[in-house]
Amino acid sequence: MTYGEWILDLLLAFPLLAALAVLLGSEAVAKRVALGATLIEFLLSVPLWWMFDPGTAAMQFEVTHPWIPQWGIMFSLGIDGISLFMVLLTTFTMPLAVLGSWNYIKEKQRAYYALLLVLTTGMLGVFVALDLFVFYVFWEVMLIPMYFLIGVWGGPRRLYAAIKFFLFTFVGSLLMLVAILAMYYVVGRTTGEYSFAYGHLLANVGSVDRWAFWLFGAFFLAFAIKVPMFPFHTWLPDAHVEAPTAGSVILAGILLKMGTYGFLRFAVPFFPDVAFHPTVQAVVVVLAVIGIIYGALVAMVQPDFKKLVAYSSISHLGFVMLGIWALSLQSVEGAIVIMINHGISTGALFFLAGMLYERAHTREIAAFGGIAKVVPALAATLTIVSLSSIGLPGTNGFIGEFLVLVGSFGTFPWATVVAATGVIFAAAYLLRALQGLIYNRLDKPEHERMRDLSARELAVLVPLIACILWMGLYPAPFLRRMEASAQALVEQIKGPEAPTAHVQVEVP
Amino acid sequence: MIPASVDLSQASGLLVAMMPEVFLTGWVLLLLLVVAWQHRSAEDQRLVARLSLAGLFVTLGLVLVYWLRGPEAEGLEVMVALDGFRFATAAVFLIGAILAVAVSQQYLGRERILVPEYYVLILLATIGMMFMGGGADLVVIFLGLELMSVAVYVLAGINRRSVFAAEAALKYFLLGAFASAFLLYGIALIYGATGTTNLTLIYVQISAIGLQTDAMLIVGIAMLLIGFGFKVAAVPFHMWTPDVYDGAPTPVTAFMAAAVKAAAFAALVRILVQALAPMDAVWTEALWWLAAITMVVGNVVALAQRRLKRMLAYSSIGHAGYILVAVASGTDLGTAALLYYVLVYTLMTVGAFAVLAVAGRGGERDTLIDDLNGLGSRRPWLAFAMTVFMLSLLGFPGTAGFIGKWYILSAAVQAEQLKLAIVLVGASILSAGYYLPVIMAMYMKAPASETAHADTRAVGAVRWVIGVTAALLLLFGVWPNAMLDLAREESRQLRPAVVVTVSR
């Protein structure tokens, strides 16, 4: 068997086995086993980067096993130029998440690390599922570990945050379940073949035209809550703030991407006529732009650093939505790039927020000040990561936002102009936070003996910074791998005469 | 040993066809004799429990043998049916009874209830249920229903020292009698309209004479639905449920919520599909509303409950609503979904009540959800099993409850009852509001004191019940294939086999 034939199965199965090993092992070695397992998982997934054929938009590494054939349910998996990055982002983030929890999690370590591993399988499953039933199962199953991570190891208001997170997601996804079933029956009745296979439903989606609006609405709600789009975002600040550091990192880095991934993979390709109906389009774009500005403005007034980062996520994800709905090659590529960036930069910011909290036991920006003198390495890292989140040229943040803005300007000039101010706001809130945290005067005597980054913390942050610079300076390998898929999406909706000439991004 | 086909119009044929029921009845009579002599000590009670379990297992074996290589009916099915649906439902009732008996042993000992007749009554009720699911004649179904109901009235009040149990029994008896009267009146009217009580013949008569708009028949069906509405605790006929479930001993509550309800649904579906299929325009509409109201009210009221037992009681009303959705679809798929869900529902309900019986004290009326605080750290396996039950009741992927709910949803969507499907989904969302707090209490809140849960221990058979039901729920959640095939197969057999030709 070649690598491509077993890799996706293994990627899903391995974390589950590892979770079992963690549970059966002793409390003391739980984190070591988890770290080893997530590292192996990452190493297993790395060859995907080279094995992936960037020349085609078709699904690759496909595997199909019968699961419940009576209902036309196949356990079929595969990845294309969109999910490739989500898979790698997940496997890349998980070892860091384990390392980031190393000292922070002191109670019930076995359960904690086992849940992280189960969560890994859940998230990867969402990104590689090519059967809507399988997709739905993973989409829901991953709720439970996250619910426990927030509810058991979270902050003071963890119970409220956990149940809010659960209920919000659950509301959206159950309506999506009805929509999936409706598609299954309508398509099945028309074609005579009852199947949940993504390809089958996509090819025959024309037969559900009559209900397309409602079906799109159900998918839209599920994904918009997850993204989260304004006004469905209210679960996010609570969940982010109360979750333990690794939980926030995973939430921001990967879980939110499930929403935008859902749009790219399901909602938009299934129902392009509804999604790009002028009214719907206008509503989505307006909501996306509101999200960009609103998230940035609220972030600007947050005294709590973690909350600030949480609101900045709403702003960043607004760019992704704008990029998808602008539907040009650049804007869609930009949207995917932002999805990756946001996972890296915001993940890193959450790690840093956690490290600051572990040192000072507060997240109030005002409680710090001038610590750059005491902890230069931490301050430098925080600066680089903040600049990448702002979108400074030379960092990954710039590539994504630039592509989205360039790609969207032709379609929605005004929305793009307004959205662009979001970048300015981003500079405003992050630089203000930076100033409050690490510059100013060192006027709090208790911070004078603060520890600088330990080797373990550096091990978490250095890979993230490496990615920030790599994507910022040489994004071509990324863009090349997503181009075929992005182009296929655009062409499927706009027709093959879509402008294929594209700006070659060259950044010094 | 078993003939390939039997003539049900002959007494000998009937005897062969009813072998499982006949065996269990004989066993019950034998047990009554045992109880008459051995009823003084807890030791005697354990003996009766063991004998009951043995009888139930043998009957289950017989049912399975009949199911696998069952005889066919020669000609008309008189009095009892000989189809897979009968044996499938009988197996579910027997499993429910076995689980209930197993849960009862530790419970009765702890609550100092020394009434060995308890087990005899459970067996009697089970015989009644088997006739409800297997009767081919309205009279047989009614007799089964009465046999079951009378036994369960007594069971509800078996703890004579408890005022609440007495109240529960009396309430259940009065309202149950009321419901039976409705049912009987409905049967009488249907007989009046069609001139027969045999299910297949009713079907033939309705089609042949063209009774689709006959007022007497429609009123009869309405009465029938009201009667069954009481039995399955559908809103607005559910008023008795919370108090009765609350007051009865917990294992009896589990038995009522699972097996009794399942039996009522089995009989209802059999009558509707086998006899009243030509009238589906009448009953699907009625059931549509019944299902919608039941789901919404059951779940909304459950949200407000702080006490675990009452919460489970209301949640069982909500589940009756889900099953009604399957019935309301009026299709084979709906029947198959019902079969699957009834099995899953029995497992998860009995499991949840078993955990309650282990964790609670003194009738469990006052056990709050908060009393489970910290169970996750003190009794991890028990808490894990309870989590599985709660997630399954919620219909979460990975558990059998999800497959069951998915099945019911497919039936609704396939029958183009999208609105009902959306109501179901909405009700499920509500239900997260009361199932999750149980999980939350167990894992995310600290135990009330150092000694909390110190004497919460599942001993003996209960441990098996909890373990096996949780494991089966997970298994059927991931690999439901075999059960789905069975459910689909048996639901098809329920359709009347006769071809009606009407000459005009």
A&B contacts, CB < 8 Å: 74
Q: A170 and B432 in contact by Cβ < 8 A?
A: yes
Parallel, antiparallel or unpaired: strands A60-68 and B72-73? unpaired
B137 has which bridge partners? Answer: B198
| Degrees, nearest 5: CA angle A51-A52-A54 | 135
Q: Is-cis flag, bond preceding A475, omega within 30?
A: no
Torsion-angle region of B239 (φ positive above 0: left; ψ -120 to 50: alpha; else: beta): alpha
Q: At what angle do helices B138-156 and B117-134 cross, to 10 degrees?
A: 160
The owner of tokens 């990324």 is A478
Q: B481 and A68 in contact by Cβ < 8 A?
A: yes
* pLDDT score at A496: 65
Closest residue in A to B435 (Cα–Cα): A163
Q: B398 and A137 in contact by Cβ < 8 A?
A: yes
Q: How do residues A431-471 score in pLDDT, each as one tens digit?
A: 988 888 888 777 777 777 888 888 888 888 999 999 999 98
Distance CA A202, CA B367 (A): 51
Residues in chain A: 508
B135 has which bridge partners? Answer: B80
Closest CB from B425, B436, B481 relative to A178: B425
- Taking the alpha carbons at both ends of chain A, their separation in whole angstroms is 43
Q: At what angle do helices B240-247 and B308-329 cross, to 10 degrees?
A: 130
Q: A158 and B444 in contact by Cβ < 8 A?
A: yes
A60 has which bridge partners? Answer: A79
* B chain contacts of residue A151, beta-carbon cutoff 8 Å: 440, 443-444
Distance CA B57, CA B68 (A): 16
Closest residue in A to B439 (Cα–Cα): A148
Q: Flag whether pLDDT at B480 surpasses 50.
A: yes
Closest residue in A to B442 (Cα–Cα): A152
Distance CA A148, CA A109 (A): 13
Contact A137, A218 (CB under 8 A): no
Q: At what angle do helices B138-156 and B261-270 cross, to 10 degrees?
A: 170
* B482 and A CB contact within 8 Å: no
Contact B498, B200 (CB under 8 A): yes
Distance CA B329, CA B278 (A): 14
| Degrees, nearest 5: CA angle B479-B480-B484 | 155
Q: B440 and A159 in contact by Cβ < 8 A?
A: yes
* B421 and A CB contact within 8 Å: yes
Distance CA A204, CA A188 (A): 9
* A chain contacts of residue B488, beta-carbon cutoff 8 Å: 70
Q: A140 and B397 in contact by Cβ < 8 A?
A: yes
How sure is the predictor about B17, in pLDDT bands with cuts at 50, 70 and 90? confident
Parallel, antiparallel or unpaired: strands A73-79 and B5-6? unpaired
Torsion A402-A408-A412-A415 (CA) sign: negative
Q: At what angle do helices A83-100 and A329-360 cross, to 10 degrees?
A: 0
Taking CA atoms, B37 is separated from B31, B32, B407, in Å, by: 10, 9, 49
Distance CA B219, CA B232 (A): 20
- Across the range B357-369, mean pLDDT stands at 76
Residue B339, number of CB atoms within 10 A of its CB: 31
* pLDDT score at B492: 76
* B406 and A CB contact within 8 Å: yes
* A chain contacts of residue B487, beta-carbon cutoff 8 Å: none
Q: Flag whether pLDDT at B205 surpasses 50.
A: yes
Q: Flag whether pLDDT at B3 surpasses 80.
A: no
Q: B481 and A159 in contact by Cβ < 8 A?
A: no
Q: A70 and B398 in contact by Cβ < 8 A?
A: no
Q: Flag whether pLDDT at B501 surpasses 80.
A: no
CA torsion B205-B207-B210-B216 (nearest 10°) is 50
* pLDDT score at A275: 87
Sequence-ordered alpha helix ranges (H) in A391-412: 396-409
Torsion A18-A24-A27-A32 (CA) sign: negative
Q: Flag whether pLDDT at B362 surpasses 70.
A: no
Q: Flag whether pLDDT at B503 surpasses 50.
A: no
Sequential DSSP letters for B182-228:
HHHHHHHHHHHHHS--BHHHHHHHIIIII-TT-HHHHHHHHHHHHHH
- Taking the alpha carbons at both ends of chain B, their separation in whole angstroms is 46
Q: How do residues B29-80 score in pLDDT, each as one tens digit?
A: 999 999 888 778 888 888 899 999 999 999 999 999 888 877 777 777 888 8
* Average pLDDT by stretches of 10, chain A with 508 residues: 84 91 87 90 90 86 87 88 91 90 84 91 92 92 90 87 90 88 89 88 84 90 89 88 89 90 90 88 92 92 90 90 90 91 91 88 84 86 91 88 90 89 89 86 77 87 91 89 88 68 50
Residue A178, number of CB atoms within 10 A of its CB: 20
Closest CB from A70, A151, A174 relative to B440: A151
Q: A158 and B485 in contact by Cβ < 8 A?
A: no
Q: B444 and A68 in contact by Cβ < 8 A?
A: no
Backbone angles phi, psi at B72, to 5 degrees: -95, 155
Distance CA B238, CA A360 (A): 57
CA B401 vs. chain centroid, Å, equals 15
Closest residue in B to A150 (Cα–Cα): B444
CA A473 vs. chain centroid, Å, equals 22
What is the three-class DSSP state of A441? coil
Q: Record the tokens describing residue A5, joined without a space.
A: 């034939």
Secondary structure of A348-372 in HEC code, one letter for each residue: HHHHHHHHHHHHHCCCEHHHCCCHH
Q: A174 and B425 in contact by Cβ < 8 A?
A: yes
CA torsion A406-A410-A412-A417 (nearest 10°) is 50
* pLDDT score at A88: 92
* B chain contacts of residue A158, beta-carbon cutoff 8 Å: 444
Torsion-angle region of A273 (φ positive above 0: left; ψ -120 to 50: alpha; else: beta): alpha
What is the three-class DSSP state of B239? coil
Q: Please give the helix or strand (H or E) that residue A154 lies within, else none.
A: none
Taking CA atoms, A496 is separated from A10, A272, A489, A500, B347, in Å, by: 37, 15, 10, 9, 55
For an interface test with A, which of B325, B391, B408, B436 has the most A Cβ atoms less than 10 Å from its Cβ? B436
Distance CA A119, CA A489 (A): 29
Q: How do residues A306-317 score in pLDDT, each as one tens digit?
A: 899 999 989 999
- Across the range B290-307, mean pLDDT stands at 91
Report the helix count and the strand count for chain B, using DSSP H and E: 21, 2
What is the three-class DSSP state of A1? coil
The single-letter code of the amino acid at A175 is: L
Average pLDDT, chain B: 88
Q: Which distant-in-sequence residues (6+ apart) come within 8 Å of A436 by Cβ?
A: A365, A366, A368, A369
What is the three-class DSSP state of A307? helix
* B491 and A CB contact within 8 Å: no
Closest CB from A162, A174, A181 relative to B428: A174
Q: Which residues of B281-317 are buried (b: 16+ CB within 10 A; e: fewer)?
A: ebbbeebbebbbbbbbbbbebbbebebbbbbbbbbbb
Closest CB from B391, B432, B444 relative to A167: B432
Taking CA atoms, B17 is separated from A159, A315, B126, in Å, by: 56, 71, 17
Closest CB from B428, B437, B485 relative to A70: B485
* B489 and A CB contact within 8 Å: no
Contact B398, B478 (CB under 8 A): yes
The owner of tokens 């840093």 is A352
Secondary structure of B112-152 in HEC code, one letter for each residue: CCCCCHHHHHHHHHHHHHHHHHHECEHHHHHHHHHHHHHHH
Taking CA atoms, B399 is separated from A123, A151, B344, B347, B396, in Å, by: 18, 21, 10, 11, 6
Q: Flag whether pLDDT at B294 surpasses 90.
A: yes
* B196 and A CB contact within 8 Å: no
Q: Flag whether pLDDT at B26 surpasses 90.
A: yes
For an interface test with A, which of B373, B420, B429, B485 has the most A Cβ atoms less than 10 Å from its Cβ? B429
A75 has which bridge partners? Answer: A65
Distance CA B389, CA B294 (A): 21
B410–chain A nearest CA distance, Å: 6
A64 has which bridge partners? Answer: A76
Q: Is-cis flag, bond preceding B236, omega within 30?
A: yes
* B chain contacts of residue A208, beta-carbon cutoff 8 Å: none
ipTM score of the complex? 0.88
* pLDDT score at B504: 38
* B chain contacts of residue A185, beta-carbon cutoff 8 Å: 410, 413-414
Contact B484, B340 (CB under 8 A): yes
